[in-house]
Amino acid sequence: MKTTRRDFIKISSLGAGTIALGTPAIKFLAGADDSENKGKSGAVTRTPNYCEVCFWNCAGWVYKNEEGKIWKIIGNEDDPHSYGRFCPRGTGGVGMYYDEDRLKTPLMRVGEPGNQTYKEISWDEAFEHIAGKMKEIGGKYGNESIALFKHGSSGKHFGKLMSAFGSTNQAGPAYAQCKGPREEAFALTFGEPLHSPEPLDIRDTKCLVLIGSHLGENMHNGQVQEMSEAIDKGVTVITVDPRLSTAASKSKFWLPIKPATDTALLLAWINVIINEELYDKEYVDKLTIGLDKLKDHVQQYTPEWAYGITTIEPSQIRATAKAMADASPSVIVHPGRHATWYGDDTQRIRAIAILNALLGSYGRRGGFYLPTKAKLPGFPSEKNPNPAWSWRDIEPEKYPFASDGVTNLLVDGSHPDYKGKHSIKAWFVIGTNLPVSIPNTKRTVEAMDNQEFIVVIDTMPTEITGYADIVLPECTYLERYDDIRVSPHREPNIALRMPAAEPKYESKPAWWMAKELAKRLGLDAYFNFENYSEVLDWQLKQIGSSLEEMKKIGVKKFEREFDDLYFAPGEIPEFFTGSGKIELYSSELAAYGFDPMPVYKPLPEPEAGFYRLIYGRAPMHTFSRTANNPNLTDLMKENSVWINPKVAKEWDLKNDQKIWLKNQDGAISSFPIKVRVTERIRWDSVYMVHGFGHKDKRLSRAFGHGLMDTEMITNVLIDKESGGTGMRSNFVTFLTEKPEKEVQS
Amino acid sequence: MRYAMAIDTLKCVGCSDCVVACQTENNVPHGYARDWITETVDGVYPSLELEFRSERCNHCDNTPCVRTCPTGASHIIEGGIVKVTPGKCIGCGACIQSCPYDARFSSPEGWVDKCTFCDHRIANGQDPACVEVCPTHCMYFGDLDDKNSNVSKVIANRKWKVLAPEAGTDPQIFYLI
């Protein structure tokens, strides 16, 4: 097996730095020239930023009113992520700043672990205590024993600190709870993961197939906008979903599939496209490897076979395969994003990747474009030490294709039942609410209870902060500098985040926390700057811009180096796979004992009286982190459970009735949820939006509103290739009376 | 001059961005909204039709709210925009009762509030906040008396409907279907 592809995508570290200076008290707004940002009396002012309410990171302008108060956020016209228009979450991002429930000062637990009583402490006390604990625990067990769970822009600053400290035990839910299997499936097929934003040429596509994406409910902004543009141009949308999603309602074909059978449908499509010779012959001949093997393999997967599994009629399967082929190569079988469903997710997404390859859409106009990004050099810094071990060593036999930190491996290594040599003894958690974002909360809590020390950095008192020994209040993205956004897109582009206001309360930026901790750990050389604006200005000047310029424009685009947005006609590119070709048959998977081509394997089914729990997104909320935002709770303050009218009748359930849910393992929800009786959901499933049912009373608007789906997700089927946690094999039943809470699995 | 809005239900995803953009633009207090999303589902699984609509004051030509206002606080300005003068409003709520679209509400200050078509933005040549922010570009705003305006063109070229036509209010929000 070649490892070149994964080595290729790693980003190399940087050169040596110089001596750090002392740290006087600094104003975070202060830069070389920030007078324009102080909100002159009587004038409306604006500063550039990119959004942190979700990972799409749209660039926009933060407006302050005549009194100098933050007023509204509007998209930046030059930004390819937002095209000048924010989604509701970004527009409501001002609520993050004004939320009076924010964490305000550093906090220290009083008394024993498990005692959720905290006292306010100073930043100096917090840093001294944390640095002391890091040295103590690092001294006892090695610095590698301290793990970092991270998300978003601020996670990067602590990632840098932990790498400098000597621990690469770093992971985020964005991989193993989200797009991990997808990234590996595309890497195994095309040699490269998709990254973010996905390089989908939706605006020019003629056929968009959504199987595992509900655009319009997930507000992946640029994609939602391009889908709307494509609708204007007459695109054929095919949506596969057991629920009439928003996108399904806009589709020419809605295939209301039986949940957990997607792979069967995908294989039947492949069967039709090969057997009816609907594939792009020249493309497949020249660019791919394994067609003969694939053809033999899929003979068993006829549309008639799939009908019995998926409940989709063979004529519909053939008609939709034909519609895709008619549009080829301007067709996109959407790769999805949150792909961790059933524990066979790398294989399922491999089927999607193979379908795209057969349709010749990868590297073609209206299919997948070939992204590029600006080459922004890293700020000079000391070289990181080489840790003795890393997350992969916790269970060395597991997840050979994981190319990024696997959160659940860190949980495994932290758990009292761990028998291996590489135990985790302390956690740093920044920007992610782990009891809600990682399934099987009970196990996560057991792992936390087994830690000697936990530090949580967040803007809000989310559930995870209740498990911390020390809580550090981070300021919001509207009050800080962060790294320049450098994202892959059609054109290289960069975006600036700068503070629009001083941090509220005692909150501080993560870069400052990391730097102050580094100072106390003797790691000053890794944070060789006073204010992060210096770092940005230095970086920007290396590529012909400057902080001064970026403050005025917010987003800067560059020319593509080559005219290579798509493959040239007749071009035979080399792919970073073992064979150098697009791998319909994966030798890499075969070498590790996995199925080299996707195989349909039946998944668990609900018992009588139970329904498959499907969860998803609402356009006005992100994960579990926005449920307390005053602007966004105004739009949606709780989730409901969608129940088909036939099922509701059987159970005598009415709209807005409050019920509790119990799952197949006996887990009972902490809070009730309102019933929504609707034809939009199949009779064998129920649906709810993720991210509600918060249990921390300090979240005054979110506490007790709705139900936390993660509580119902105790059966986690792990994707053996990537480590992704499949969460959609959980089944629930309804409790109409308030349950006694002694049963909790 | 006749301001109107057309909203394409084939593109609207019901995301509520128009709602939050209006709230921030116009400093609408939390818990109140000048525009909102309506969802309608017709049929039986799996033969279903789903429609999202962004709704607000229809800035009607025939205005029961203005007629019922005892103080003259509710009035019509240039372009047919229906507005409320807070200083004149006594908060009696007659207009709220008379509106077939339930587009008006009592603000915490006691006066009646509603959509203004963002006339303060129109004065600067900008679209209303809801139109400008919409990520699906499903809203068109402009002058119906100008045959070349975006709103005139889409109404001329597409099928459309208005809400509660039976109320006889001659509403000026057109839903493209």
- Residue-wise pLDDT tens digits, A522-535: 999 999 999 999 99
**Helices A345-358 and A262-275, axial angle in degrees (round to 10):** 20
Whether the pLDDT of residue A394 is over 70: the answer is yes
Per the structure block, which two tokens stand in for B68? 């019922």
| Chain A CB within 8 Å of residue B26 CB | no
From chain B, the residues in CB contact with A85 under 8 A are: 17, 132-135, 137
A-chain residue closest to B9, CA distance? A250
Q: What is the mean pLDDT of residues A647-670?
A: 97
To test the contact with chain A by mutation, choose from B54, B127, B133, B158 the residue with the greatest count of A C-beta atoms within 10 A, namely B133
Q: Supply the pLDDT for residue B51.
A: 98
Q: What is the mean pLDDT of residues A303-316?
A: 98
Q: Cβ of A73 and B24 within 8 Å?
A: yes
Which residues, numbered 84 to 113 in chain B, qualify as contacts with chain A under a Cβ-Cβ cut-off of 8 Å?
Answer: none
Whether residues A682 and B45 touch (CB distance < 8 A) is answered with: yes
Q: What confidence category does residue A111 fall into, taking pLDDT thresholds of 50, 70 and 90?
A: confident
User: What is the average per-residue pLDDT within A249-273?
Assistant: 98
CATH 3.40.228.10 fits A179-371+571-591, yes or no: yes
Q: Which of A647, A649, A679 to mutate to test the interface with B (most CBs of B within 10 A)?
A: A679
Top-tier CATH class for A611-735: mainly beta
Residue B43 backbone class (left: φ over 0; alpha: ψ -120 to 50; beta: rest): left
**What's the pLDDT tens digit per position in A426-453?**
999 999 999 999 998 899 999 999 999 9
Residues of A in contact with B13 (CB under 8 A): 215-217, 224, 246-247, 250, 619
pLDDT grade for A2, boundaries at 50, 70 and 90 = very low
Domain boundaries, chain B: 3-176
Is B133 at the interface with chain A, CB within 8 A? yes
Cα gap A727→A486, rounded to integer Å: 31
Domain covering B3-176 in this structure, CATH number: 3.30.70.20
Q: Does B136 touch chain A (CB under 8 A)?
A: yes
The per-residue pLDDT for A235 is 98
Q: Each residue of A439-497: pLDDT tens digit? A: 988 999 999 999 999 999 999 999 999 999 999 999 999 999 999 999 999 999 999 99
Calculate the alpha carbon distances from A186 to A87, A335, A345, A648, B109 in Å.
28, 9, 12, 41, 57
Quick check: A197 contacting B, CB < 8 Å? no
The answer to whether B150 contacts chain A (CB < 8 Å) is no
**pLDDT mean over A324-343:** 98
Residues in chain A: 745
d(CA A241, CA A250): 13
Q: What is the pLDDT of residue B34?
A: 98
With pLDDT > 90 as the criterion, what percentage of chain A qualifies?
91
Residue B177 touches chain A, beta carbons under 8 Å = no
**Is residue A20 predicted with pLDDT exceeding 70?**
no
The pLDDT tens digits of the residues spanning B152-169 come to 999 999 999 999 999 999
Task: Write down the pLDDT at residue A745.
Answer: 39
CATH 3.40.228.10 residue ranges in chain A? 179-371+571-591
Does the structure show a pLDDT above 90 at A26? Answer: no
What mean pLDDT do residues A82-96 have? 98
CA distance A715 to A736: 23
Compute CA distances B15 → A114, A160, A247, B20, whole Å.
Answer: 40, 37, 12, 10
| Predicted confidence (pLDDT) per residue in B76-118, tens digit | 999 999 999 999 999 999 999 999 999 999 999 999 999 999 9
Measure the CA–CA gap between B89 and B85, rounded to whole angstroms: 6
- The reported pLDDT for the residue numbered A113 is 67
Spell out where A424-510 has E strands.
426-430, 453-458, 470-473, 485-487, 493-495
Q: What is the mean pLDDT of chain A?
A: 93
pLDDT of residue A41: 59
Contact indicator for A512, A503 with CB cutoff of 8 Å: no
Q: Is the pLDDT of residue A14 over 70?
A: no
Stretch 658-717 of chain A: residues touching chain B, C-beta under 8 Å: 678-683
Length of chain B measured in residues: 177
SS3 labels along A151-165: CHHHHHHHHHHHHHH
From B69's Cα to the closest Cα of chain A, the distance in A is 29
**Record: contact A620-B15, CB cut-off 8 A:** yes
A72 touches chain B (CB under 8 A): yes
Q: Is A249 on the interface with B (CB under 8 A)?
A: yes
- Number of Cβ pairs closer than 8 Å across A and B? 120
How high is the pLDDT of residue A116? Answer: 76
Cβ–Cβ contact B11 with A under 8 A: yes
Residue A631 forms contact with B (CB below 8 Å): yes
- Rounded mean pLDDT, A409-427: 97
CB pair distance less than 8 Å for A246 and B52:
yes
Distance, in Å, from the CA atom of A162 to the CA atom of A517, rounded to the nearest integer, reads 10
- A503 close contact with B: CB closer than 8 A: no
Q: Residue A29's pLDDT is what?
A: 52
Give yes or no for A637 touching B (CB within 8 A). no
